[in-house]
């Protein structure tokens, strides 16, 4: 293990940073029309606002949201406090909470002419993929500020995005050849040969077919570090090589950790290629005694998503039994369109390459069951873990979380027909937005609305019932930034791991990964961000909307 990584192995005693700015229950029944605020409380609110602004500037968005909440308790009649908290919550990806702060019940109700509140709400709608609603709020801003050309340009770009989405839906042809078949045809016709002038790393030809080697991957990574791209043919070969493995698996993959075998679970990487390389220097490469499992959201936001996904797919092609990849909510067309991967893929490798990526993303498994092979021993003072029917620890690794009902079994997940399907079509994959990929844990029992404004949240009782029903020792999921890189919740049954340190160059969080051994023991490793070339996140977002999505 590198000196730059640290780990703990006692998850039940971990005190990690709380994940979100939970709404203050005292304010839920607040009647804004009847609040009388003293001069003393107004002054205290101004002081707290100043402290919150400093925290925000320092990228302590969680601290800023809490301080704005404290200020609101002192003076709930001040619309800028609600609007500022909305912005802090947007940085925490709590778009549902942010919408509530910026909408009519809060800042807009207090001051219907407060243009910034409409703008914040428009930005939230863009984040949760509701561009039509964003356009309505852009128009309200322009009604108040008709000379605001920045807002006008964003509205026009959003309208173009809506037309693009509608056009793409209109030209979809039922029964059309898959991008995999089309790319294979183009290759067979000689339409995607490697330029003879190319001098970079080369795949090996065996019996007129390309094969991948470890030497190629190492050379490819160095090529990427120098800011160079692969020929389109090699990109297609890597994607097709990975696809040949994904397409033959169930939606739930099972891994057994034999004697001496470990598995590292890696959370969101989000196109942060140089951080991923540092991470791989800590985990080591996949091998017969050391598996890697990337738990979704490899792409979007970061501006080296192509390099990240090609590296992961190359390892999958070379080491199919040692390298595993789950699908995340960002391995989907609507997210790729809004958060940069579509633009990046087309810029670097063209339209057909993006289509191929988009299709192969649908073949990624939705979850992985990691099973120990050594029976656990009872530990004095600790309750015995939930185990499989064979008495073994096993962990359900999924990007988001659990469902809107308790009865879902591992077999139900295994049988989900995922290939060729984008989120939100039918069955478990539409509950309502692939809950496997979208849900988040909450502290309260039961189920509740998601702080994201999409999907639901599930409580500790839901987690325990589901784990007990399915003989699962715990759920390992990703999907959310954690300041420490990971967090253990729900009495140790739900663990979040996030592997993009200093997320989008501003969150200041650590990255982490989890190592599981053949006895089902977990260790938690943390690491810091590493320097990267001077390119901002979201560099390839199309239509000039990148600044809104940050």
Cα-Cα-Cα-Cα dihedral sign, residues 463, 469, 475, 479: negative
From first CA to last CA, the distance across the chain in angstroms is 34
Q: Please, where are the H alpha helices in 189-296?
A: 214-225, 232-246, 273-283
Bond preceding residue 432 cis, omega within 30 of 0: yes
290 in active site: no
> b/e string for 431-468 if b means 16 or more Cβ within 10 A?
bebbbbbbbbbbeeeebeebbbbbbbbbbbebbbebbe
- Catalytic residue, chosen from 106, 243, 270, 330, is 330
Residue 108 exposure: Cα atoms within 13 Å on the Cβ side: 21
For residue 235, give the nearest of 351, 366, 365, 362 by alpha carbon: 351
Report the C-alpha dihedral over residues 522, 439, 443, 523, rounded to 10 degrees. 10
Cβ atoms of 282 and 501 within 8 Å: the answer is: no
Residue 303 carries which DSSP code?
T
> Tokens 């009782």 — which residue?
461
Q: How far is residue 63's CA from residue 52's CA, in Å, rounded to a whole number?
A: 7
Cβ atoms of 322 and 288 within 8 Å: the answer is: yes
Q: Which residues pair with 516 in a beta bridge?
A: 263, 522
**Phi, psi (rounded to 5 degrees) for 439:** -75, 160
Q: Please, where are the H alpha helices in 128-226?
A: 131-144, 149-171, 179-188, 214-225
Conformational region of residue 342, where left means phi above 0, alpha means psi within -120 to 50, and beta covers everything else:
alpha
Cβ atoms of 130 and 334 within 8 Å: the answer is: no
Q: How far is it between the farthest Cα atoms of the chain?
A: 83
Q: Who contacts 426 (Cβ-Cβ below 8 Å, separation ≥6)?
A: none
The token duo for 467 is: 């784990």
Residue 176 carries which DSSP code?
P
Cβ atoms of 328 and 479 within 8 Å: the answer is: yes
| Angle subtended by helix axes 115-127 and 79-91, to nearest 10 | 20
Q: How far is residue 119's CA from residue 327's CA, in Å, rounded to a whole number?
A: 32
Residue 230 carries which DSSP code?
-
Beta 456-458 vs 440-441: how paired, if at all?
parallel
Q: Who contacts 101 (Cβ-Cβ below 8 Å, separation ≥6)?
A: 82, 83, 85, 86, 89, 107, 120
Q: Active-site residue numbers?
A: 330
């Amino acid at each position: 293990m590198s000196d730059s990584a640290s780990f703990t192995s006692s998850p039940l005693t971990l005190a990690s940073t709380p994940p979100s700015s939970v709404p203050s229950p005292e304010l839920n029944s607040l009647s804004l029309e009847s609040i009388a605020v003293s001069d003393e409380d107004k002054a205290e609110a101004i002081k707290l606002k100043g402290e919150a602004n400093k925290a925000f500037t320092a990228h302590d968005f969680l601290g800023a949201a809490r301080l704005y909440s404290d200020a609101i308790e002192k003076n709930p009649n001040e619309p800028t406090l609600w609007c500022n908290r909305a912005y802090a919550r947007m940085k925490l990806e709590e778009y549902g909470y942010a919408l509530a702060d910026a909408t009519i019940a809060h800042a807009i109700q207090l001051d219907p002419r407060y243009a910034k509140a409409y703008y914040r709400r428009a930005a939230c709608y863009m984040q949760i993929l509701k561009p039509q609603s964003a356009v309505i709020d852009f128009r309200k801003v322009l009604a108040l500020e008709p000379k605001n050309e920045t807002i006008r340009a964003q509205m026009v770009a959003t309208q173009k995005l809506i037309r693009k989405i509608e056009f793409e839906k209109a030209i979809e042809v039922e029964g059309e050849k898959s991008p995999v078949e089309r790319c294979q045809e183009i290759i067979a016709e000689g339409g995607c040969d490697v330029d003879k002038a190319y001098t970079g790393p080369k795949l090996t030809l065996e019996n007129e077919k390309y094969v991948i080697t470890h030497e190629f991957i190492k050379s490819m990574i160095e090529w990427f570090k120098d800011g160079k791209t692969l020929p389109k043919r090699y990109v297609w070969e890597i994607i097709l090589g990975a696809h040949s493995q994904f397409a033959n698996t169930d939606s739930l993959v099972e891994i057994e950790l034999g004697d001496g075998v470990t598995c590292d679970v890696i959370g969101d990487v989000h196109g942060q290629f140089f951080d991923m390389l540092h991470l791989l220097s800590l985990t080591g490469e996949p091998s017969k005694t050391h598996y890697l499992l990337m738990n979704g959201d490899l792409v979007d936001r970061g501006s080296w998503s192509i390099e990240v996904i090609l590296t992961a797919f190359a390892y999958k092609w070379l080491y199919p039994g040692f390298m595993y990849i789950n699908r995340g909510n960002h391995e989907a067309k609507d997210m790729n369109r809004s958060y940069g991967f579509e633009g990046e893929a087309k810029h670097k490798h063209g339209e057909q390459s993006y289509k191929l990526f988009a299709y192969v993303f649908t073949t990624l498994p939705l979850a992985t069951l990691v099973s120990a092979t050594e029976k656990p021993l009872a530990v004095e003072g600790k309750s015995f873990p939930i185990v499989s029917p064979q008495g073994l620890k096993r962990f359900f690794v999924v990007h988001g979380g659990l469902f809107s009902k308790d009865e879902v079994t591992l077999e139900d997940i295994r049988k989900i027909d995922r290939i060729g399907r984008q989120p939100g079509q039918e069955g478990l994959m539409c509950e309502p937005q692939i809950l496997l990929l979208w849900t988040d844990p909450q502290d309260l029992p039961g189920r509740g609305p998601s702080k994201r404004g999409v999907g639901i949240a599930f409580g500790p009782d839901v987690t325990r019932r589901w784990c007990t029903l399915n003989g699962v020792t715990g759920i390992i999921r990703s999907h959310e930034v954690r300041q420490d890189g990971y967090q253990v919740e729900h009495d140790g049954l739900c663990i979040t791991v996030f592997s993009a340190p200093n997320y989008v160059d501003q969150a200041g969080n650590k990255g982490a990964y989890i190592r599981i051994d053949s006895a089902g023991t977990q260790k938690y490793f943390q690491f810091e961000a590493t320097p990267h070339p001077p390119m901002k996140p979201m560099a390839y977002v199309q239509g000039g909307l990148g600044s809104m999505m940050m």
